[in-house]
Amino acid sequence: MNRIRANLLARDGGACFYCRRPFTEDERPTFDHYIPRAIWRTWRQRNLVLACGPCNNAKADALPWTVAVLVLRNVRHGVEWQRACGLAA
């Protein structure tokens, strides 16, 4: 796990992915699943970011925008869907 943390620190510049605040000695970065674990159970590095405590707590299992797009891409653009979006007459 330390190796993954080191890789992520190198990739993201040693700062919180969300607020860009640099991590300090006192504050160990926490792993955050960019796509919530409830949806995609993986420890793949591209689904992991490092977040500070407050950001990780604030995000919880909220869907990032990218996931919303992935989900919507698989929704049929039928009448029901258009009505739900206010597009159908």
Which of 6, 19, 68, 69 contacts Zn ion by CB under 5 A?
19
SS3 50: strand
Closest Cα to residue 31, out of 20, 16, 21? 16
The stretch among 1-9, 13-21, 28-36, 62-70 that binds Zn ion (CB under 5 A) is 13-21
The stretch among 1-9, 42-50, 51-59, 62-70 that binds Zn ion (CB under 5 A) is 51-59
Instruction: Give the nearer residue to Zn ion in terms of CB position, either 26 or 76.
Output: 26
Give CA–CA dist 35/75, Å, rounded: 18
Give CA–CA dist 13/44, Å, rounded: 19
Interface ranges with Zn ion (CB under 5 A): 16, 18-19, 52, 55
